Amino acid sequence: MLKKVFSTVVASLLLMGIASGCSTGGAASSEKEVRIGYFPNLTHSATIIALEKGYFKEAFGSDMKIQTKTVANGGLFMEAMATKAIDVGTVGPGPLLNFYVKHPGYRLISGAANGGAVLVMNGSINITELKDVKGKKIAIPVIGSTQDVMLRKALNDVGLKPTMNGGDVELYAAAPADTAALFVQKSVDGAATQEPWGYVLEDQAEGKLLLDWDQFAWGKESTNTVVAASDEFLKREGLATAYLQAHKKAVKFIQENPEESQDLIIKHLKNLTGKELSKKEVQAAFSRLEVTTAVNEKVIQEMADISQEAGYISSNKIDGLINLKYLESAK
């Protein structure tokens, strides 16, 4: 049976994210304002820690006003960036690729988290190998999401394809907060999802891990979250370097202080929602991801290739998307 308390937490996180995403539109930031976007999600831990530790404020200076916006998925993040409601922040590479091909006014300026995604099957189904998901219905956060692309990569590796591309694995878009209920109702056979949702499925909906974070798609090289910035933001002198100084400091802090980082993240999410994740849940999710500033350009290109094959983007030409000069200059 689902644990109502945690379900309420994750539902609140999702609702909060949607509300914030819908409310952010309009004018560009003033010269004394930076708008930072992120998800209430553990793969966005670097942003959360940079906020909690005051690293952004320290890097930008006391004269700069920092606005934060939380969103529920990458599509909302990129829409907010397109309407100039977000200048810079953390998002999955899938949505960034989708928007970049249509309008190349955005840049990937750093990595943020690798891994943090798993493939979990409904415990009522006896499947031990990926090839056996043929004919099954698998939930993904949203069409075109990073987890969608990762699942397509994994399926392709064992000779399977989604039904929408002539194969026989059905992809089903569902909000991660709803997936546990779908498991209990046996409405889906599995889920490709990010943490902490994967752990929730195992702990509360009798899900069985089929592919752990270091086995799913590109394994430990699976790029889950990156730092994205608009061209307008990058033109504002010194701001991208300042953002990445804070980002790098947060990544280092998490790597060196995992316990304290988890406590800060629990506190941060509680302040956002009024609800509290348990240390056990956050520890489990942390064990399945790696915060990093590294960017594997080969993986990003392969994600673009898969997105094109899926019909999400018209071209896999992403020259110019990745710009790491600001990361290199951030000391």
Single out the residue in 189, 220, 251 at which a domain terminates: 220
Tell me: do 186 and 285 sit in the same domain.
Answer: no
Tell me: do 226 and 314 sit in the same domain.
Answer: yes
Buried b / exposed e over 233-242, threshold 16 CB at 10 Å, is bbebeebbbb
The pLDDT score that the predictor gives to residue 165 is 93
Note whether residue 187 is domain-resident.
Answer: yes
Spatial contact of 47 and 89, defined as CB atoms under 8 Å apart: yes
Tell me: do 162 and 305 sit in the same domain.
Answer: no
Q: Which domain holds residue 216?
A: 117-220
Note whether residue 206 is domain-resident.
Answer: yes
Tell me: do 147 and 63 sit in the same domain.
Answer: no
Note whether residue 166 is domain-resident.
Answer: yes
Distance of alpha carbon 310 from its chain centroid, rounded?
A: 20
Residue 141's nearest CA partner among 60, 211, 70, 198 is: 198
Tell me: do 231 and 320 sit in the same domain.
Answer: yes
For strands 88-91 and 137-140, give the pairing: unpaired
Tell me: do 91 and 175 sit in the same domain.
Answer: no
Band the pLDDT of 278: cuts 50, 70, 90: confident
Tell me: do 227 and 325 sit in the same domain.
Answer: yes
Tell me: do 152 and 97 sit in the same domain.
Answer: no
Single out the residue in 196, 220, 244 at which a domain terminates: 220
CA atoms within 13 A on the CB side of 285: 26
Note whether residue 17 is domain-resident.
Answer: no
Note whether residue 122 is domain-resident.
Answer: yes
Tell me: do 247 and 306 sit in the same domain.
Answer: yes
The pLDDT score that the predictor gives to residue 276 is 82
For the question of whether the overall pTM of this predicted structure is more than 0.85, the answer is yes
Spatial contact of 95 and 75, defined as CB atoms under 8 Å apart: yes
Tens-digit pLDDT profile for residues 234-253: 999 999 999 999 999 999 99
